[in-house]
Structure 1
Amino acid sequence: MTSADLVLPPTDQQTPTAALLQAPEAQALELAIGDMHLLLEQHGYVIALYPSGIRPEHERRLHSIRSVLESDRIALVKVDLPPLGLAVLVRQLRQLSICDFSPGVVASAARLLSHYIYAGALLNSVARLDRVPVSLKSHATSWVPGSQFAVLAGPESRLVKVGPNVEPPAGPDFGTHLLVAQGNLQSDWVQETLATAWKVQAIHDATVPSDSPRWWGTGKLVEFAAHLPDLSVLYQLVSSVRREKCHWCAMELIGDRCAFCSAPLAASENRALPTGVLHHGAGESPGP
């Protein structure tokens, strides 16, 4: 992981922690290469998740390390999720890493699981928000004192102005827990209105990641992420997708692209997620 505050506490005693891949100004390249070599020696493979908004020099550092080590056991996975949603995804992959999945399946599961994380924020302004499409009307409304906006960045982009008789953005139709990071915006709308509308099974508090104000364009926010909390459900979801072997590096994978070498599968080899995996009724969790 590229930031320590994206490593959420484990949900159980079995979930391992994550290693920190530091920014160039925080660690010399030689030391970073040594740390990565040690991780490979200890664990065999490294799956490095990093946000799409990472600074270019930090991303170049990751590619440089992999190039210097000439290793095909390092997967660099760029994720287009807000900071708190990315932190949730990192923890889910940490949970899956103790299962009987191969490294290739765990790495490529990042793209699959990101579609089941409803990540967003309650903002006092969208004037500087450039990650989600914002209409001219919403920009103008941002300047009205007291305005608040509920913004969903994933799995689809949605934006609504919060107010009386206004429905929250449509949420997941499967059982989730809601992770809430209270920023500098004083509001209970997420914990009360949104959580009720989405019928979440539990609410957990988190600390606002350091990159969230930059990502959302304001520090006056309440960031949230609804997610699948149970390892048994995550396991079944990943297991339900057909596994393939990469024709280039021979790693096992799910989806249409290898997470280790980025080689795509031929169109005829692509497989979609079977229907009905998560739709067992509100509050129900399919067995492993």
Structure 2
Amino acid sequence: MPTAIAVTSADLALPPQDERTLPAAVLRDIDARPLDQALADLQVLIERHGHVIVVCPRAAPTPVQRRLHTLRNLLESDRVALFRPDLPPLGTAVLVRQLRQLASCDLSPGVLASAGRLLVHYLHCGALLNSVARLDRVPVGLKSHAKSWVPGSQFAVLAHPEPQLVRIGPEARLTGPEFGTWMLVAKGQLQSDWVTGTLAPAWNVLGLRETPLPADSPDWWGTGRLIEFCTYLPDLSVLYQLVTSVRRGTCHWCGIDVIGDRCVFCSAAPPAPESPRDTPGGRRDGQGTHRRDRTPAG
């Protein structure tokens, strides 16, 4: 069975992008349900799929994050990876769907879990807001705060990959992707065609789709009067090529294949490179036998 992609909210499980997109396992109310029930559900996923990648947004409530770490510790298993992207809600949902697409391919669990950290660089996430007075996840200057109280003001905000904020007007521009993407749009209580009629053409998006606004978006952006958007690479072949073109390594601790310098499953970082003093015969002057030659106590 393919590696399971689990999420902490149903809003993160977008409709399939194509016929190969696998469903997400939704860990509903994981912080509110009895611990033994949540533990049993996660154990079933491990037994059924071998490995589980749980995507939990960085902005998730603290009780959710604590419960996930508790479950993983109780299972004493390196087959559960906790991936916490620092993205707005819609961007997180898009990234989850890309992982669900890749889960149908011949990628090992460690490479698939590491792929999220790679693919996040190809997302552009932002929103059109009626006010930035309560926006605390993107730097906002005093002038923008003052202008947000002017009736009818609207602001275009890019949260990822680089924060940007502009007041909507004839010269309003956001720096977008330099490669072909699709755009997903989620409309809240704000009425405007700026995202679809101005931003999308300026970014030369290849296609545009709409989806319901995630429940966590108003809290993340500080207002319910918004239109959230995210550009992404939709084609599985392109995603697969990106992931497989990156050099792979092997985790020195658990032995699983990984991309990057840290294993997502056991969290082990690569060992520090040996200095000359750590090599045989490299004993420091004035020191006794080097620590590598000592027998650990016990």
TM > 0.5: yes
* Runs of at least 5 residues in structure 1 that lack an aligned partner in the other structure: 269-288
Counterpart contact for 2:90–2:214, Cα < 8 Å: yes
Matches within 5 A, 1:33-48: 33-48=39-54
Question: Distance between the aligned counterparts of 2:262 and 2:229, measured in 1?
Answer: 29
Counterpart contact for 1:22–1:32, Cα < 8 Å: no
Cα root mean square deviation, aligned: 1.2
Q: 1:239 matched to which residue of 2? A: 244
Is 1:64 the counterpart of 2:74? The answer is no
Question: Distance between the aligned counterparts of 1:253 and 1:154, measured in 2?
Answer: 25
* 1:252 paired residue among 250, 253, 257: 257
Give the superposition deviation at 1:267: 7.6
Letter of the 1:199 partner, please give it: N
Give the superposition deviation at 1:165: 2.4
Write out per-residue CA displacement over residues 195-221 of structure 1, whole angstroms, 9 at most, x where no aligned residue: 011000000001100000000000000
Letter of the 2:127 partner, please give it: A
Give the superposition deviation at 1:58: 0.7
* Runs of at least 5 residues in structure 2 that lack an aligned partner in the other structure: 1-6, 274-298
Give the superposition deviation at 1:25: 5.1
Matches within 5 A, 1:1-288: 1-24=7-30, 26-166=32-172, 168-265=173-270
Give the superposition deviation at 1:44: 0.4
Bigger mean CA deviation after superposition, 19-28 or 183-192? 19-28
Give the superposition deviation at 1:70: 0.8
Question: Distance between the aligned counterparts of 1:97 and 1:45, measured in 2?
Answer: 11
Q: In structure 1, the residue corresponding to 2:92 is in which secondary structure?
A: helix
Give the superposition deviation at 1:23: 2.9
Counterpart contact for 1:49–1:90, Cα < 8 Å: yes
Larger CA Rg, structure 1 vs 2: 2
Give the superposition deviation at 1:251: 1.4
Q: In structure 1, the residue corresponding to 2:122 is in which secondary structure?
A: coil
Give the superposition deviation at 1:5: 1.2
> Normalized against structure 1, the TM-score is what?
0.90
- Number of corresponding residues: 267
> Normalized against structure 2, the TM-score is what?
0.87
